[in-house]
Chain A
Amino acid sequence: MPRTLTTWLLIAAAAAIAVLPVLIGAGDHLREPFPGADAEAEEAVQRIDPGYEPWFTPLYEAPSSEIESGLFALQAAIGAGVIGYCLGVLRTRRRLGRPAVDAAPSGAAPAPGAGPEAERGGPAR
């Protein structure tokens, strides 16, 4: 199987697993479908240990869920940005033929004819 196709299939599988619970209505039996597991654990603590009083509160709590979701998006954006930057730098380095540690001296020029799996001698999966 071509390497690129396998990668796309992996992404599709991950997306399908994420979407499936919503499609089959896995949260329908709940009053509020799809709550966060972390919040559910807080409720479980209150249920198992009703006398327990949290003795410390967060220093800063986003004043609304809108702001909180924005901060979550910010977290993901920072992470995705850094990953994109790293992949970009690596790819550029490789394309410019930066002397690599163990690259073979001959045949270093791109050989589009060679299949992506030529070196491994086997399909990706």
Chain B
Amino acid sequence: MHIAEGFLPWQHAAAWTAAAAPFVAHGIRTMTLAVRADPDSKLLLGASGAFCFVLSALKIPSITGSCSHPTGVGLGAVLFRPPVMAALGTVTLLFQALLLAHGGLTTLGANVFSMAVVGPWAAYGTYRAVRALTRSLPETTALGLAVFFASALASVSAYTVTSLQLALAHPDPADGFLGAFAAFAAVFSLTQIPLAVIEGLVTVVVVRLLSTVGRDDLRRLGVLRSPDPAPAAAHRTDEKAG
């Protein structure tokens, strides 16, 4: 989903930067306040940012015959809500733009908007919806399903927004915006579908690990539901954590 340096006309680059900036500013503020209110959350914040870092570095082959990479924004969006991911995702994109010539400074705004703003909100919306629908299922299953769909949909929506951004900037001479969108979506969104499944599965694995070793932290964040009238046997060993 990285639009390469200089590949958006300057008017588009400026507009996307202006659109993304308030989200990033709000995200940094939210994160500062969250850390101040609950210093213990620093650990999981770090893990969320690091997860985004790892996943967006992994290029994975897809059935379309090309390679793409996951976004890793679903975890942080579910744990800390989307604004925080706007800040953490920007860090990742900046690292790649400056050191890897992957993405760019002029296209940073557009890339932040797709990966660090739309992706996390899509994740969070999906997470809330699936959670509401799966209230009757056992907690581990319900959480796993919600996290899977949240992170998979975040991945696809980030790449679809990238296709939209490119189509707006480079409409097809014959078929206009829609023709160009179809061409870019064929490159990005289709390739991303199996990767989104992988991203969903991997995010579920991490949430499963966290809900074993950091169960109290996840409860404090409201991600794991506290068992109503806590049974005495609630505290279980985590020796078997996979």
Contacts and interface: CB of A to CB of B under 8 A. Distances in A.
Interface of A: 2-8, 10-11, 13-14, 17-18, 20-22, 24, 26-30, 33-42, 44-45, 47-49, 52, 54-62, 68, 71-73, 75-76, 78-83, 85-87, 89-91, 94-95, 100-104, 106-112, 114, 116-125
Contacts, number: 274
A54 B6 contact: yes
Given A52-B170, A82-B47, A102-B216, A68 B237 contact: no
Given A38-B68, A39-B4, A72-B57, 18 more contacts: A7-B205, A14-B198, A17-B194, A18-B198, A21-B62, A21-B194, A26-B64, A33-B65, A37-B191, A38-B2, A57-B6, A75-B54, A79-B52, A80-B50, A83-B47, A111-B235, A114-B237, A116-B240
Interface stretch (B18-26, B28-36, B123-131, B226-234): B226-234
Nearest to A21: B61
A119 B4 contact: no
Nearest to A115: B236
A2 B140 CA distance: 12
Interface residues of B, number: 99
Interface of B: 1-7, 9-10, 43-44, 46-47, 49-68, 95-106, 137-141, 144, 159, 162, 166, 170-173, 180, 183-184, 187-188, 191-192, 194, 197-198, 201-202, 204-206, 208-210, 212-217, 219-220, 226-227, 230-242
